[in-house]
């Protein structure tokens, strides 16, 4: 079928909204009508070519939600009409990582997904001239419809508006997972969060849910610090102002926080997040740093029991966690609407990427089908 989709033809060139061909789902795949999709800083990384060569042409978009239209053979966990959030790591459940309880690192996803292919190593997407298109992060949801691996379609309650559910599959699972699965923050632990964009705000929400205190938000945009407070930050430090963020954090916590989260993806801020932790503390790097960029820390400080940790996609079982996160949102314990600073149609992808480049606003949600998404476009 023909669908409208956001195609990245070449890094550095604006994303084009155009018609492309989408093949029907094969065995173990699902066709979803996309309602809404969030625009994340990782999309900027792809669009700007920061993740190395070989990702184009690609239909972009990895965070979104929609309604199942049809299912391929042997799909039983969802049926047409079901509301789903996308999970961009549809774990195979059989490789050594999956069997070891690390489905976020699934080898099959890593092998085919890195080339923009689905779990059988092929694509369902083509340009009108027949050129094969990559599926952005296995999801390709900046499009009217998408075919994804069955494991990437996670059923969610129909009561949760799809424009909010759209955020679950990247920002929410990544941010809250970093708090719960990586740092394992306990009540009373002190936390600092560097970068309060769409993902960082979810780290703050996760820290609040875990009972952390204080929760110190660091950003260079005052508007972000306001949003951070709404999500549960107890203190805000403007990194662009007179304040030196690390001294401010050390002052507030008598020597450093238990956990610092870097949610920007820059070596300078990784260094700051390292400096902000106390002896025995842990810095968790959530931000995606461009390929080829190195980060350094004064290595003598490893002697004070400090740890530097990476994380990918919340480091848990994202597909298994998304329904619980949806339930938290429905219960009012997770404010998804509060991080959405802009909505636009599918045509608004490039403007949303530009806002992220400028550091303006938090999440833009593209209302690919506003009625289905449950929110008017204006
Ligand atoms: N100091 C403090 N804050 C900064 C700095 C800096 N030097 N540089 C950027 N920021 C802030 C921006 O103002 C913004 O609020 O970091 C935030 C980044 O947020 P977004 O651009 O909205 O990015 P987001 O989608 O949240 O992703 C954050 O996580 O998953 C990864 O790839 C993603 O690396 C990205 C990171
Ligand atoms: Zn993302």
Instruction: Tell me which residue has its CA closest to atom 13 in ligand 1.
Output: 359
pLDDT band at 243 (very low <50, low <70, confident <90, very high): low
Cα 293 to ligand 1 centroid, rounded to whole Å: 16
Please check the confidence at residue 259 and state whether its pLDDT lies above 70: yes
Q: Which of 175, 179, 195, 315 to mutate to test the pocket of ligand 1 (most atoms within 8 A of CB)?
A: 195
Give tens-digit pLDDT for 160-210: 999 999 999 999 999 999 999 999 999 999 999 999 999 999 999 999 999
Pocket test for ligand 1, best of 40, 193, 264 (most atoms within 8 A of CB): 264
Query: CB neighbours (10 Å) of residue 119?
Result: 23
**What share of the chain in percent tops pLDDT 90?**
98
> How far does the centroid of ligand 2 lie from the alpha carbon of residue 134, in Å?
17
The answer to whether the peptide bond before residue 225 is cis (omega within 30 degrees of 0) is: no
> What integer is the mean pLDDT of 78-93?
98
Q: What would the mean pLDDT of 106-125 be, rounded to a whole number?
A: 96
Q: pLDDT at position 224, please? A: 97
pLDDT band at 378 (very low <50, low <70, confident <90, very high): confident
What's the CA gap between 282 and 267, in Å, rounded?
16
Residues with CB under 6 A from ligand 1: 40-42, 45, 174, 194-200, 218-221, 224, 239, 263-266, 269, 286-288, 356, 359, 362
Neighbouring CB atoms inside 10 A of 143's CB total 30
Q: Buried (b) or exposed (e) across 339-378, using 16+ Cβ within 10 A? A: bbbbbbebebbeebbebbeebebbbbbbbbbbebbbbeee
Query: Mean pLDDT over all residues of the chain?
Result: 97
pLDDT at 242 over 60: no
CA torsion 77-79-85-86 (nearest 10°) is 80
pLDDT on residue 244: 86
Q: How many CB atoms lie within 10 A of CB 257?
A: 26
277-285: strand order across its sheet: 235-238, 215-219, 191-194, 257-262, 277-285, 307-310
Closest residue CA from atom 36 of ligand 1: 287
Residue 242, classified by CB atoms within 10 Å of its CB into exposed (0-12), middle (13-18) or buried (19+), is exposed
- 191: helix, coil or strand? strand
Map tokens 């805000």 to a residue.
Answer: 236
């Amino acid at each position: 079928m023909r669908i409208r989709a956001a195609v990245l033809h070449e890094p550095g060139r604006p994303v084009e909204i155009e018609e492309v061909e989408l093949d029907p789902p094969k065995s173990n795949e699902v066709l979803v009508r996309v309602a809404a999709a969030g625009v994340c800083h990782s999309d900027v990384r792809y669009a700007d070519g920061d993740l190395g060569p070989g990702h184009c042409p690609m239909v972009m978009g990895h965070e979104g939600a929609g309604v199942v239209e049809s299912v391929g053979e042997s799909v039983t966990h969802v049926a047409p009409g079901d509301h789903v959030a996308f999970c961009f790591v549809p774990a195979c459940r059989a490789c050594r990582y999956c069997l070891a309880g690390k489905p976020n690192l699934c080898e099959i996803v890593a092998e085919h997904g890195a080339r923009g292919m689905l779990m059988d190593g092929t694509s369902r997407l083509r340009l009108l001239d027949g050129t094969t298109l990559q599926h952005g992060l296995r999801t390709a949801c900046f499009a009217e419809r998408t075919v994804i691996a069955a494991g990437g379609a996670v059923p969610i309650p129909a009561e949760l508006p799809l424009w909010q559910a759209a955020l679950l599959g990247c920002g929410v699972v990544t941010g809250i997972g970093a708090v719960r699965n990586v740092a394992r923050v306990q009540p009373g632990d002190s936390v600092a969060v560097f970068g309060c964009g769409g993902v960082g705000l979810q780290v703050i929400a996760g820290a609040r849910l875990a009972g952390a205190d204080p929760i110190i938000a660091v950003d260079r945009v005052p508007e972000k610090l306001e949003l951070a407070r709404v999500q549960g930050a107890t203190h805000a430090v403007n990194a662009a102002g007179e304040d030196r963020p690390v001294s401010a954090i050390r002052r507030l916590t008598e020597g450093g926080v238990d956990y610092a989260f870097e949610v920007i993806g820059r070596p300078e801020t990784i260094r700051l997040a390292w400096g902000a932790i106390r002896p025995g503390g842990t810095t968790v790097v959530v931000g995606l740093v461009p390929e080829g960029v190195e980060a350094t820390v004064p290595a003598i400080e490893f002697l004070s029991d400090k740890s530097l940790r990476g994380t990918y996609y919340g480091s848990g079982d994202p597909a298994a966690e998304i329904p619980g996160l949806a339930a938290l949102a429905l219960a009012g314990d997770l404010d998804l609407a509060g991080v959405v600073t802009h909505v636009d149609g599918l045509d608004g992808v490039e403007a949303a990427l530009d806002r992220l480049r400028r550091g303006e606003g938090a999440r833009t949600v593209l209302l690919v089908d506003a009625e289905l998404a449950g929110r008017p476009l204006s």
